[in-house]
Amino acid sequence: MIRTRIAPSPTGEDLHIGNVYTALINYVFAKKNQGKFIIRIEDTDRTRLVPGSKERILASLKWLGINYDEGPDVGGPFAPYEQSKRLDLYKKYAQELVDKGAAYYCFCTPEILEQMRKDQQAKKELPHYDQRCKKLSKAQIKDKLEKKEKYVIRLAVPSEGTTTFNDLIRGEISFENKLIDDQVLLKSDGYPTYHLGVVVDDHLMEISHVIRAEEWISSTPKHVLLYKAFGWTLPVFAHGPILRNPDRSKLSKRKNPVWASWYREEGFLPEAILNYLALMGWSLPAQAGMPDGREIFTIKEMMKSFRLEDIKPVGPAFDLTKLLWMNGEYIRKTQNSKLKGQIYEFFNKRYSKEEIEKTLPLVKDRMKKLSEWESLTDFFRKAPTSYEIPVNKDHLKNVLTVLEKKDWSHEILEQTSRKVAEELKVKAGDLFMSIRIALTGKKATPPLFETMLVLEKEESLARLKRAVSL
C-alpha cells in the first residue's frame, strides 16, 4: 500500500506555497496508486509555534481540494496526527536507542556548548558536538540523573564510513559520517527534534514514500542512520525541487507572496494554482489525441500519467505573472453559473447573485482574479464622478432626446445611436465614446449597448442627463 504524507510545522502564518507543491505531488502520487495521503502536524519546536497556524494550514488544504485520508481533524488508524500529542512515544524510542548504544545522554549546558563552539571557531573547525558526554560511565550518568541534571539524548553517529541512500528523483546520494553531527534527538523539554519525530512517525504511520523538497536532503542521512539503528525498513525517498524566485534564490517572502491564504484572498482559483504548481518540475506527456507539453490540464489528467521519477530535480522559477495569466484562463474556462457562486463567496456575499450574474458576462474576459470583478464592474453601482476624457454635450443632448422615447433593447439602442450619428454627421465610434464616457467615466469598458442594458433605461438616461448638464 502506497502511503504518503506532508508534515508541515505550524510555525508560519499558513501553508507555505512550497508546501502546497509538496502536498500536490504527494497527493497525486498516492491517489494515482490507490494509496493514502496523510497530514501530520510537526509541532515540536515550541518556541516557533504560531497560534492558529495549524487551523489555517488545514483550511488551506481543504480550499485547495487536496483531500487527505488521515490527519489531525479527521483521525485515522495511527492517530494522533500531531506530534505534541505523541511525546511518550518519542521518549520510549529515544530510550530504546540509548539502551542499544546507538544514542547517549548529554548533560552539556548551553554555556558549555557555547564555549565549545568558540574554541572550534578559533581552531577554524566546523562547529560540532565533540562527543564528550559519549564517554561518560554508567555510574556518572546515574549520578547526574539522580541529581536531576538537565539532559538531551544525542544520536551516536559513527565517526567513519559513509551513509548512502537512493533518491528516486536524484539517484544515489552519499554523506561522509564524519561530517554528520551527533544530532540531538530528544530535547531537555521532553520534545523530540524534527529528526527523531519524523523517523518514528513515518515508520509507525507506515509511510511508504517520503516525498519532500530538496532542502531536507542533508537531514536524510541522519534519518537513514536512525532507521538502521532501530532496525526498520527505509521508506523510498524522493526530494523534489524547491520553488525559486526568478533570481534562483529560494522562494522568499521578500520577493514573492508565500502563504496559501494570500492567493486565496487575492482571488486565485485552487485549480489554477495546482495546475501551475504541477509545472514546477513536471510536464504532461502526450496522450491520445492531445499534444504533449500542454500547460493547462486538470489534476485528474495529471494523475493519469504522473510518475515520481519524471520529476525534475530543478524546477523553473516561480513566476507570479504566469500564474496570473493561467488564473485568467481558468476563469474563462469556468461556467458562469459556477463562477457566479465563487465571486459571491469571495466577496463574502456582499453583492447579490443577481448583480453578479448580470455583469459577469461583460467583464469575464478581462478578469485575471476573482477580486477584479469588483473594480471592473464598479461603474454599474456608482455613477461616474469624473470623466477620463471630455464628452461632446451637444451630441449627447441629441441622443438623449431620441433615447428617452425608445424601448430598451440592444437592437433599438444600436440602431438609434447610429442614426443620431448619421444625422449629426459624426463618426458612430466618436458618438459611442461620448455615450460610454457619460455612462461609465471610462474609455475601456464592456461593449456599450450591453452595458446600457445592465444599467437599464432610467439609470442610463440619468447619467446622460448629468453629463449634458455639467
Residues in contact with ligand GLU, shown as a per-residue x/- string from 427 to 466 under the rule CB under 6 A: ----------------------------------------
Nearer to ligand GLU, 8 or 446 (CB): 8
The binder of ligand GLU chosen from 14, 42, 70, 201 (CB under 6 A): 42
Work out whether 239 is an interface residue with ligand GLU (CB under 6 A): no
Q: Alpha-carbon distance 436 to 463, whole Å?
A: 10
**What is the number of alpha carbons within 13 Å of residue 45 lying toward its C-beta?**
14
Work out whether 193 is an interface residue with ligand GLU (CB under 6 A): no
Residue 73 cell numbers, joined: 481533524
27 vs 2, 186, 272, 355, CA distance in Å?
11, 30, 16, 38
Work out whether 71 is an interface residue with ligand GLU (CB under 6 A): no
Work out whether 8 is an interface residue with ligand GLU (CB under 6 A): yes
The binder of ligand GLU chosen from 31, 86, 212, 358 (CB under 6 A): 212
Work out whether 43 is an interface residue with ligand GLU (CB under 6 A): no
Please give the size of the binding site for ligand GLU, defined by CB under 6 A. 8
Work out whether 39 is an interface residue with ligand GLU (CB under 6 A): no
Shortest Å distance, C-beta 243 to ligand GLU: 13
The binder of ligand GLU chosen from 7, 156, 229, 238 (CB under 6 A): 7
Q: Does residue 148 have an active-site annotation?
A: no
Q: Are 61 and 104 in contact (CB under 8 A)?
A: no
Nearer to ligand GLU, 4 or 327 (CB): 4
Q: Which amino acid is present at 267?
A: G
Q: Which of 85, 118, 228, 253 is catalytic?
A: 253
Q: Are 225 and 232 in contact (CB under 8 A)?
A: no
Shortest Å distance, C-beta 198 to ligand GLU: 5
The binder of ligand GLU chosen from 216, 262, 325, 347 (CB under 6 A): 216
The region of 7-15, 60-68, 230-238, 459-467 touching ligand GLU under the rule CB under 6 A is 7-15
SS3 369: coil
Nearer to ligand GLU, 220 or 377 (CB): 220
**What is the number of alpha carbons within 13 Å of residue 349 lying toward its C-beta?**
0
Residues in contact with ligand GLU, shown as a per-residue x/- string from 346 to 365 under the rule CB under 6 A: --------------------
Distance of CA 440 to the CA centre of its chain: 37
Nearer to ligand GLU, 29 or 194 (CB): 194
Question: Hunting for cell 536524484 — which residue is that?
Answer: 170
Residue 265: its H or E element: helix 260-266
Query: What string of DSSP letters covers 83-137?
Result: GGG-HHHHHHHHHHHHHHTSEEEE---HHHHHHHHHHHHHTTPPP----GGGG--
Work out whether 4 is an interface residue with ligand GLU (CB under 6 A): no
Q: Alpha-carbon distance 255 to 452, whole Å?
A: 43
Question: Hunting for cell 537531514 — which residue is that?
Answer: 219
Q: Site residues (CB under 6 A) for ligand GLU?
A: 7-9, 42, 194, 198, 212, 216
* Residues forming the active site: 253
